[in-house]
Structure formats: C-alpha cells, structure tokens
Amino acid sequence: MVHLSRFAEDLIFFNSGEANFVELSDRVTSGSSLMPQKKNPDALELIRGKCGRVQGALTGMMMTLKGLPLAYNKDMQEDKEGLFDALDTWLDCLHMAALVLDGIQVKRPRCAEAAQQGYANATELADYLVAKGVPFREAHHIVGEAVVEAIAQGNRWKR
C-alpha cells in the first residue's frame, strides 16, 4: 500500500499545472468548486488517503499483539475487523488505480521537454564515460564541471 500511495502522489504531481505530464480522464476527476479550469484528481487522492487507513489498521493490530504471550488469547478477536477492512480497502484502491490508468493520457512532448531541462541526462553521460573505461569518480567530476560550464555559458544540453 505504501507503493500505491506513492504512485498516486506521483500521478497527482504529474497531473498538476506545474508538471502537466499527464491528463486524467473525467471518470476519475471532478471539477474544482473554486477554480473552473481545474480538475481535482479525486480517485488518486482517495487512494492516497485510504493507504493511510490500511497502515493504521496494521498499527492497530500490532498494538493488540504487543503485550500478548505466545498462546491463544481472546484479544486476537480484534484483528478481524482491521484485517477485513484493510483487504476490502486494498481491493478498492486497486480498482481505482486501474480506472485511473485506463483513462490516463501521457503528454509525451511535455515529458520530453522536461527531460531536456535541468541537465537530467548528466547521469547518463557519466555512465557512458564509465562504460568507456573512465573511473566513476572521475566521470562524475568531469560531467559536473561540464554542467557548471554549460550553465555559466547559458547553454543547454540536448539529447
């Protein structure tokens, strides 16, 4: 569930006006009550929130177990509610995630543009130098200096 929550958070950011990497379908969004141009990523926000609920069920179960001896105890009857709720919630979240992915549109030109900014491919260049026999620390240093020089000259790397 932690990974599903992080996945939802990433898609919420990718859908934001700042990133603008994806477009979510109307099926999993709703209009903003304040901003008419905005679509709220409802399904993703619900997934993110419900993941916390499942984590809470785990914490509750651990607190029930914390002081029990290694034998049958009536206390263990308390694990069922959290367990079954967590399972139902997990299945609901998987269903919502499938709906999100079914209707998502990736804005490839915007993603490509973002990949060209901030010297995101500097690591790839350092890896290339390592593959050609340059020691990693030296390759890291060379590429770091190249980025500093490019910034100083106002240049951007292109793939």
* Diameter of the chain measured on Cα atoms: 72
Into how many domains does the chain fold?
2
10 Å Cβ neighbour count for 43? 24
Are 31 and 98 found together in one domain? yes
Range of the domain at 138: 119-153
pTM of the model: 0.78
Flag whether 159 is in a domain: no
Are 38 and 19 found together in one domain? yes
Decide: 99 and 43 in contact? Cβ < 8 Å: yes
Flag whether 26 is in a domain: yes
Given this model, what pLDDT does residue 69 score?
86
Residue type, 43: A
CATH number of the domain encompassing residue 101: 1.20.200.10
| 136 pLDDT more than 60 | yes
Residue type, 76: M
Are 17 and 93 found together in one domain? yes
| 159 pLDDT more than 70 | no
C-alpha distances (whole Å) from 100 to each of 8, 15, 94, 147 are 10, 12, 10, 38
Are 21 and 73 found together in one domain? yes
**What percent of the chain has a predicted confidence (pLDDT) above 70?**
98
Q: Quick one: residue 40, left, alpha or beta (phi over 0 = left, psi -120 to 50 = alpha)? A: beta
pLDDT tens digits for range 44-87: 999 999 999 999 999 999 998 888 888 878 888 888 999 999 99
Flag whether 25 is in a domain: yes
Task: Please provide residue 154's backbone torsions phi and psi, each rounded to the nearest 5 degrees.
Answer: 75, 25
The chain-wide mean pLDDT, for the chain, equals: 92
| 158 pLDDT more than 90 | no
Are 148 and 77 found together in one domain? no
User: Alpha helix locations (H) across 37-158?
Assistant: 42-65, 79-103, 108-115, 122-131, 136-153
